[in-house]
Structure 1
Amino acid sequence: MKNLIPAMKKDEALIEEMDSFLHQKEGFRLWWLGQSGYLLQWKGKRVLIDPYLSDSLTKKYAETEKPHIRMSELVVRPELLRNISVVTSSHNHTDHLDAETLVPILKNNPDIKFIIPEANRSFVADRVKCDSAFPIGMNDGKSISIDGFTFNGIPAKHNEVARDENGNCKFMGFVIQFGKYAIYHSGDTLWFEEMIGILNPFNIDVAILPINGNKPERKVAGNLNCNEAVALGKSIGAKYIIPCHYDMFSFNTADVNDFILETEEKAQAYKVLKGGECFSA
């Protein structure tokens, strides 16, 4: 793989930067790990959101009609990530639930908690080879607090708001509240009208939203496009929007410059991160 988009910081240099802020008392830091993956650090505690830190999809689809050709450098090897309080998986697609990423993370963080949609419990346990009772199952309207972070379950539409036979969401987002802050990580989702009413009460500081759009010819489930992501951020009063789910696979991406133009036209504050770059507040 040649001419990959370089990470701003990666591997040991990235870990060194994260560690240098462990004793920070004020604000929080959020590093983009590629695709929809982020590391949130607040008061020395770490939450890992939907990490995809391998080439498993590139290998899986190499000889198919849907090759997953990587565009960006791998930001950090998963075995380097330690002192993680919580890791999340918003749904079962491999770029949000990757065994090659999660197995070493679970191994190296013995006290970690693993938040998933309850509907996906048996699938998750089989994929990451953990006890089926280990993950913490979530549903929309449910919340759980761990290490000072409260996770609120938000439904996601990918391409439907799909539920199991017990009414549990298969695709989810999370609002993470901590201290005076609230971050919304939508997972993979299309727009649906109910989400504005669900999200408005949280007073979102940062909305992390996909921008790769919904194109059936890709033969994968779709997401918000650039314009929709900005409209959603404006509708819920997000102080900042951070775009994600682009520049990972060449067949399923977007031009982030279109997002930038839309945010500036709509006077919406935003931050575009490079892989391994930090947003701080």
Structure 2
Amino acid sequence: MRLNPRPGAIADGPAIHWLGQAGFWIDTGAHRLLIDPYLSDSLARKYAGKRFDHRRMMPVPVTPEALPRPDIVLITHAHTDHMDPDTLGPLHRRFPDLPFVVPAARVEAARERIGENASLIAVNADDEPEPLPGLTLRVLPAAHEMFERDEKGQHVFLGYAFASGGARIAHSGDTIPYPGLAERFRDFGTDILLLPVNGRDAERRDAGIPGNLTLDEAITVTTAAAARYLVPHHFGMFAFNTLDPATIDAAAAASRDPIILRPEIGMAMDLQKD
């Protein structure tokens, strides 16, 4: 599987589209998956006037009302920039039968934000549900600075690896490195890794904002996983929690294995078979 970047709009065929932050629209040619879409200004309203005000650095690329119908939505955890009521609620109202895969540890939050009657598929780490014919899905644990579990021992933070239409892709969710992370991706035969690169520091941690992989760590994980492509994300949305895109571009210019592709709003990364 090869990725070929080009200008392009959503619904142009098999491709990966970045929606900002950790959000992706992925059309494999067999399924259309939507992951962690944040397509509103709900956090800017919530934190207006606060120290970390959450004003968007980029425009909303497509409104929930204009988004095409996906086949399934994957939600990695309940932070609002991943489980956004102002994005997911409108999607549910437009497509009442649309399935949402959500952490079992946060299923009540999902019902509150998406809809009481939403079609929720509650999962935990290491589950392998079969939500759609021809879609192989493996649920992974994620360590958003740490592993967190609910009172039932279910993981609060998740990632997803999936195979569809010849593509084998993994979205780690928000995570830092942990023993076995790269091995999980490698065991799945992942070709394309979608990893956060905004890093972490004490100031944000003390303010209750857990961090993620650094870019160097994401490259190390991708190399150890033997994945061909790294698509960095979780940058460019909030000024207090980002990474300079030039840093990603410099790493991409210096690397051929893995191939690093910095996503851009309005760019399609075509999924092409070798």
Q: Is the 8 A contact 1:46 1:85 kept in 2?
A: yes
Matched, 1:140 2:125: yes
Q: Is the 8 A contact 1:239 1:269 kept in 2?
A: yes
Match runs of 1:91-102 below 5 Å: 91-102=77-88
Aligned partner of 2:9 in structure 1 is: 14
Superimposed CA distance per residue, residues 116-162 of structure 1 (whole angstroms, 9 cap, x where no aligned partner): 11111112112223237x31011111112214222210000012111
Residue 46 of structure 1: which of 20, 27, 32 is its match? Answer: 32
Letter in 1 for 2:9: L
CA distance in 2, matches of 1:260, 1:203: 26
Higher relative contact order, chain-length normalized (CA < 8 Å, sep 6+): 2
Match runs of 1:140-219 below 5 Å: 140-145=125-130, 146-218=132-204, 219=207
Letter in 1 for 2:140: I
Structure 1 consecutive aligned stretches of length 4 or more whose deviation exceeds 6 Å: none
Query: Secondary structure of 1:126's partner?
Result: helix
Residue 250 of structure 1: which of 239, 264, 271 is its match? Answer: 239
Query: Secondary structure of 1:14's partner?
Result: coil
Q: Is the 8 A contact 1:213 1:222 kept in 2?
A: yes
RMSD, aligned CA? 1.8
Matched, 1:275 2:265: yes
Q: Is the 8 A contact 1:216 1:222 kept in 2?
A: no
What TM-score results when the alignment is normalised by the length of structure 2?
0.90
Letter in 1 for 2:266: G
Letter in 2 for 1:141: D
| Inter-CA distance 212–203: structure 2 relative to 1 (3 Å threshold) | same
How far residue 106 of structure 1 moved from its aligned partner, in angstroms, is 1.1
Aligned partner of 1:3 in structure 2 is: none
Equivalenced residue count is: 261
Match runs of 1:78-117 below 5 Å: 78-117=64-103
Query: Secondary structure of 1:135's partner?
Result: strand
CA distance in 1, matches of 2:29, 2:167: 12
Select between 108-117 and 264-273 the one with higher mean Cα deviation.
Answer: 264-273
Query: Secondary structure of 1:144's partner?
Result: coil
Unaligned 5+ runs, structure 2: 1-5
Query: Secondary structure of 1:104's partner?
Result: helix
Letter in 1 for 2:210: A
Residue 260 of structure 1: which of 244, 249, 252 is its match? Answer: 249
Q: Is the 8 A contact 1:230 1:259 kept in 2?
A: no
Matched, 1:239 2:228: yes
Select between 192-201 and 182-191 the one with higher mean Cα deviation.
Answer: 192-201
Unaligned 5+ runs, structure 1: 1-7, 22-27
What TM-score results when the alignment is normalised by the length of structure 1?
0.87
